[in-house]
């Protein structure tokens, strides 16, 4: 039994190392100096085609350590921090809008009775199952029709009305005790009171899970930004990180490390909510 | 349990406030440093000749402001005023032109300018197209 557990522990450790390895290397290499010019052995932060056989010798750890990369992205060039704030604007708008729309939508689907409710919810699920790339073109056409194709609204509006949030919160609201709602109704509470004072406090973990999932998704968005945003100064930082090339590789590690901090902090803080919220998605209710 | 969550929330919020506060300050600081370090270039306002060519006015500019790209096309760099998230600055903007006449006083008459903008003189090859610049010549209308 003990041996089995040890084996399991080792396997889990191996997988953990596989996952955490790139993260650790990114953080370590963010302290490498910004390298310029040729050298026999290059650091991972200076990946490039080297010899005529096409092989590149890479040392995973830098030969020297400095804060040059951080100095460059945080103090010398405002472009990177601008991109960071662009990401913040997009993510915060999406999260705020989506939470409002999703809680109200989920409440409607759970508590209200109207004809075609289940059919409408089925449509929600179908839309949710569509890959992002499929809906990009219709979204682009609609954005063009509304005249918002070169603004953040083209990204934010489809995200705010994303059916996933409604689905997640509806699953949570389905398991709320019906007695509470009935008691509130007997006491004379209307839908606004039930929504704000009973339902919302009871689905806190679901909302927290939704917030985290949305932050992860829109903090790392690339496709929508590349398609909708034309001006480079409006790009979020995720686009820059996705376009790492030879020229920018020297600072990309520091940019990636810096960029990861808020999401990592959020996940460290709310991972229990996330587990709870996602776990409740499988619960069958009314 | 509740106490632990409250403590975690406090720590998390404090961390976020410090992180975003610092980032906000660094954004402001880096903009000031960036704008302070931009290359300074001299500009001259092109002089209109009064002639019309292809529906546009022709202009007199210093010969050293006319550049030739590897394809043999002649162009000039103008300082285009720009205000965006980084701040107020000028961008070196390429304008393709045709040299109509080269004069003895190191000036040339060009066709192709649509907007009257300050023309970069003597910038050499150090200033690239799209670079942010600081305009130091104050003798002309710079915008």
pLDDT band at A53 (very low <50, low <70, confident <90, very high): low
Q: What is the pLDDT of residue A210?
A: 92
Nearest to B30 among A81, A265, A269 (CB): A81
User: pLDDT, tens digit, for every residue of B34-52?
Assistant: 877 788 888 888 888 877 7
Q: Is the pLDDT of residue B18 over 90?
A: yes
Q: Does the distance separating the beta carbons of A74 and B30 come in below 8 Å?
A: yes
- All residues of chain A having their beta carbon less than 8 Å from the beta carbon of residue B88 are none
What distance in Å separates the CA atoms of residue B19 and residue B22, rounded to the nearest whole number? Answer: 5
Which DSSP state fits A45? G
Strand partners, B65: none
User: pLDDT, tens digit, for every residue of A105-162?
Assistant: 999 999 888 888 889 999 988 988 888 888 888 888 999 899 888 889 999 999 999 8
Q: Which residues contact A252 (CB under 8 A, 6 or more apart)?
A: A45, A241, A244
Nearest to B30 among A75, A266, A268 (CB): A75
Q: Is the pLDDT of residue A39 over 60?
A: no
Q: Does the distance separating the beta carbons of A262 and B12 come in below 8 Å?
A: no
Q: What is the pLDDT of residue B20?
A: 94
Nearest-Cα distance to chain B for A82, in Å, is 7
Which DSSP state fits B131? -
Mean pLDDT of B55-82: 86
> Quick check: pTM over 0.80?
no
Under CATH, which architecture does the B39-142 domain have?
Beta Barrel (2.40)
Residue to mutate among A269, A271, A273, with most B CBs inside 10 A, is A269
For the record, the structure tokens of A224 come out as 């929508």
Segment among A16-30, A104-118, A164-178, A235-249 with least mean pLDDT: A235-249
Q: Which residue has the higher pLDDT, B39 or A48?
A: B39
How buried is A145 (Cβ within 10 angstroms: 0-12 exposed, 13-18 middle, 19+ buried)?
A: exposed
Q: What is the pLDDT of residue B62?
A: 87
Q: Is B123 left (phi over 0), alpha (psi -120 to 50) or beta?
A: alpha
């Amino acid at each position: 039994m003990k041996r089995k557990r040890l084996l399991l522990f080792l396997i889990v450790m191996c997988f953990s190392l596989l996952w955490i390895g790139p993260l650790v290397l990114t953080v370590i290499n963010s302290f490498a100096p910004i390298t310029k010019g040729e050298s026999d052995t290059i650091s991972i932060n200076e990946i490039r085609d080297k010899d005529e056989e096409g092989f590149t010798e890479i040392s995973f750890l830098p030969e020297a350590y400095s804060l040059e990369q951080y100095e460059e992205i945080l103090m010398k060039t405002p472009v990177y921090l601008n991109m960071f704030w662009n990401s913040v604007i997009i993510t915060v708008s999406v999260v705020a809008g989506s939470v409002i729309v999703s809680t109200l939508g989920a409440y409607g689907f759970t508590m209200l009775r109207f004809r075609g409710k289940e059919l409408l919810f089925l449509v929600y699920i179908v839309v949710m199952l569509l890959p992002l790339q499929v809906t990009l073109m219709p979204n682009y056409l609609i954005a063009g029709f509304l005249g918002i194709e070169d603004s953040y609204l083209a990204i934010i509006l489809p995200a705010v009305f994303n059916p996933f949030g409604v689905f997640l919160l509806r699953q949570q609201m389905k398991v709320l005790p019906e007695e509470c709602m009935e008691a509130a109704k007997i006491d004379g509470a209307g839908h606004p009171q039930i929504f704000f004072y009973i339902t919302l406090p009871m689905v806190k973990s679901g909302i927290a899970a939704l917030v985290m999932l949305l932050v992860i998704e829109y903090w790392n968005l690339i496709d929508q930004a590349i398609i909708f945003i034309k001006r480079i100064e409006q790009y979020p930082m995720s686009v820059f990180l996705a376009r790492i090339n030879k020229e920018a590789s020297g600072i990309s590690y520091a940019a990636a490390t810096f960029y990861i901090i808020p999401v990592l902090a959020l996940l460290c803080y709310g991972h229990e909510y996330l587990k709870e919220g996602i776990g409740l998605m499988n619960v069958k209710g009314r | 349990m509740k106490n632990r969550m409250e403590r975690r929330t406090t720590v998390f919020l404090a961390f976020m406030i410090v992180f975003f506060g610092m980032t906000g300050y660094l954004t402001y600081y880096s903009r000031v440093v960036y704008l302070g370090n931009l290359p300074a270039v001299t500009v001259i306002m092109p002089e209109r000749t009064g002639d019309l060519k292809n529906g546009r006015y022709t202009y007199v500019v210093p010969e050293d402001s006319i550049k030739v790209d590897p394809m043999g096309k002649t162009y000039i760099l103008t300082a285009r005023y720009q205000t965006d998230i980084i701040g107020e600055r000028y961008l070196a903007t390429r304008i393709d032109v045709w040299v109509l006449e080269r004069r003895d006083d190191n000036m040339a008459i060009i066709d192709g300018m649509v907007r009257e903008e300050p023309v970069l003189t003597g910038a050499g090859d150090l200033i690239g197209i799209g670079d942010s610049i600081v305009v130091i010549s104050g003798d002309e209308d710079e915008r």
